[in-house]
Structure 1
Amino acid sequence: MPQVNAIAALHELLALTKRSFLQYLRHAQPYRQGNDEEILATFSDIVADQDLLVERIVGQLERRGHVPPSAEFPMEFTGLHDLALDYLLDRAIDYQKRDIEALEQLSESLACHQTIRSLVDEAKGMARGHLQSLEECCAKA
């Protein structure tokens, strides 16, 4: 796998984290039913973890003299904002799996950048934990 430069890797990690599906849903108005509190709590916990990781990624960029880029949410998210939370939970699981695959590929491309690879590997571990939380929430729903 070809190597990527450190700044490009940080930009990719930032986009994956800051513009995740659950980050999108925090700004959307999904349809809520009476029994959605656990789903909302799980989403909120994941977004809070991602926010902390975003701060660390931004710090890495700033230490390297780079301004964090702005990023937009993927267009495919826009058609999902007003759907029921139980449906969105299934979609969140799908997107989480996709993000984990992207993090695995990014990690493999960072053999020469150990500090950033460690951050990506931490993000990957966190994403796997989030996937487990989402799957547990889905099993209960």
Structure 2
Amino acid sequence: MSNETNAILNQVIVLLNRSLAAYLADAVPWMGRAGAEVGESLTAMVKDQQQSADRLAEFVLDNGGDVAAGEFPMSFTALHDLSIEFCLKKLLQTQQEAVQYLQQAVAALERAPLAKALVEETLGSARGHLETLNELLAAVH
């Protein structure tokens, strides 16, 4: 596997492992009356992201690469005291950005079909999460 492919996959792994959803799963915001449904959806989203990241990491390691850990953005630390309604808007924004990045990653992996297929699968999941977040945001308003 090329260094470029490894770098792209590592960026996707960090995107998944250090997502806002993953951060909020540990630093739970104030949930209010929407808490149960939002909490369940957030947990499912994080679990799915982790499974995708694990598959990508396994692929990187199987092909002789190293896996990057990454860090949560410092801007996330300001969100844990806010309501879930506010955080949902931010989650929606970061998920839209993730979908855009994954689309670019798929295009960049044209010469690495196995890696491309893994990222396409991740992109499909990310689009599903985006739809779920839109539904949750509509439900809490």
TM-score when normalising by structure 1: 0.92
What are the within-5 Å matches in structure 2 for residues 48-127 of structure 1?
48-127=47-126
Q: Does residue 1:21 correspond to 2:20, yes or no?
A: yes
Runs of 4+ in 1 over 3 A off after TM superposition: none
Change (3 A) 1:35 1:64: same
Distance across 1 between alignment mates of 2:137 and 2:93:
12
- Counterpart of 1:34 in structure 2 is 33
Please report the RMSD computed on the Cα atoms of aligned residues, expressed in angstroms: 1.5
Deviation, structure 1 residue 40: 0.8
- Counterpart of 2:44 in structure 1 is 45
Deviation, structure 1 residue 66: 2.5
1:33-81 CA distances to partner (integer Å, 9 max, x unpaired)? Answer: 1331111111111011111111101101110123322210112212112
- Counterpart of 1:134 in structure 2 is 133
Identity fraction in percent: 30
Structure 1 unaligned runs (5+)? none
Structure 2 unaligned runs (5+)? none
Distance across 2 between alignment mates of 1:21 and 1:56:
20
Higher helix share: 2
Distance across 2 between alignment mates of 1:70 and 1:136:
31
Count of paired positions: 139
Q: Which has the larger displacement, 113-122 or 34-43?
A: 34-43
The residue type equivalent to 1:81 in the other structure is H
Distance across 2 between alignment mates of 1:64 and 1:133:
34
